[in-house]
Amino acid sequence: MTLLPKALVPGDLIVIAALSGPLPAAYEPNLVQAEKVLERMGFRVRRAPLLEADRRRWWSAARPEEIAAELNGLLRDPEVRAIIANDGGQTVFGYLDLIDYEAIRADPKPILGYSDISLLHLVLHARTGLAGFHTDLATPGLGGSWPAAPAARQAELENLYSTLLTSTDPIGPLPSSPSWECWRPGRAEGTLIGGVINRIALVQATPYALPLDRFDGAILFWEEIGGLAAYVWTYLHVLRHSGILDRIAGMVVGIPRDIEGLGDPTLQEIVLDVLGNRDIPVLGNVEFGHAAPNLPMPVGLRASLNADERTLSLLEPAVRPG
């Protein structure tokens, strides 16, 4: 069963933490804006100590053991009711063996973010059942792409995220847009599992892999940034060889960003080439991941996908009554 955190209430504390990459000083104004967004939702906001402008160790905000120690402290602190990652990066693989998984079981909390944080969602769900809040990051998302969006979209996202964190009712249909495309028709209902496709493929080669039966009847969602179109094709074949593509009931693909070589073939052609004759619905170009303000895609929650109608609905709440 999926482990749901307690619903947040007004005045609860959300901590912004450096769970992977650093905070360049130039993005301090974006972080301030992200704090304002969370405060408008009714929450108190605090920065974790490692989140200091221009603090870094190589490509990370700190050493993996330092980040793990700070994360574990937040997990054990009863005042902290949710954690949102400042940014993504390339660090989470370095501290998977240092996480206090018992603290998560004892007091599950929403951990928000995407990119490298999607690896955290997958592993925590595999080890504890924790629902993964695959949402926007603080600085590039709430403080970056959100203010750049039209006012109506900003209001829609704030309401959606507030509902995600506070409501014990099913979330319902996600707001669709003209970018959504039916790449293969059909309908499916299943548990959402996903993240950045390279993280999905790589984690399956570690002791922190999701058991294959977690993919039975699941709706796999994924996106990618950078690299080559051939890399995406390769990652999909890794999922094919591992048996994942034979187990899922549907697929949702995010808007690609900065992938060299897309166009000939298109991303749709790559996906359908690897899927072959697997008759599952595929919905493409959905706003989650690196290319747009993120719609929430909660790992471990049941969803309903209708590729023909280009709809995606969350059938369960992401939090439980306090």
Q: How confident is the model at residue 68 (pLDDT cuts 50, 70, 90)?
A: very high
Q: Report the number of distinct structural domains present in the chain.
A: 2
Q: Are residues 31 and 154 in the same domain?
A: yes
> Where does residue 130 rank: exposed (0-12), middle (13-18), buried (19+ CB within 10 A)?
buried
**Considering the domain boundaries, does residue 286 fall inside one?**
yes
Predicted confidence (pLDDT) per residue in 211-245, tens digit: 999 999 999 999 999 999 999 999 999 999 999 99
Do residues 176 and 208 lie in contact, with contact meaning Cβ atoms separated by under 8 Å? no
- pLDDT at residue 130, as a whole number: 98
Pairing relationship of beta strands 80-85 and 302-306 according to DSSP bridges = unpaired
Predicted confidence (pLDDT) per residue in 99-117, tens digit: 999 999 999 999 999 999 9
Predicted confidence (pLDDT) per residue in 33-67, tens digit: 999 999 999 999 999 999 999 999 999 999 999 99
Do residues 221 and 194 lie in contact, with contact meaning Cβ atoms separated by under 8 Å? yes
Question: Domain span at residue 207?
Answer: 172-314
Predicted confidence (pLDDT) per residue in 182-218, tens digit: 999 999 999 999 999 999 999 999 999 999 999 999 9
**Considering the domain boundaries, does residue 55 fall inside one?**
yes
* Residues 302, 138: Cα–Cα separation, whole Å: 25
pTM over the 0.95 mark: yes
In this predicted structure, the answer to whether residue 155 has a pLDDT above a threshold of 90 is: yes
Mean of pLDDT values over 12-34: 97
In this predicted structure, the answer to whether residue 267 has a pLDDT above a threshold of 90 is: yes
**Considering the domain boundaries, does residue 279 fall inside one?**
yes
- Rounded mean pLDDT of the chain? 97
**Considering the domain boundaries, does residue 20 fall inside one?**
yes
In this predicted structure, the answer to whether residue 292 has a pLDDT above a threshold of 90 is: no
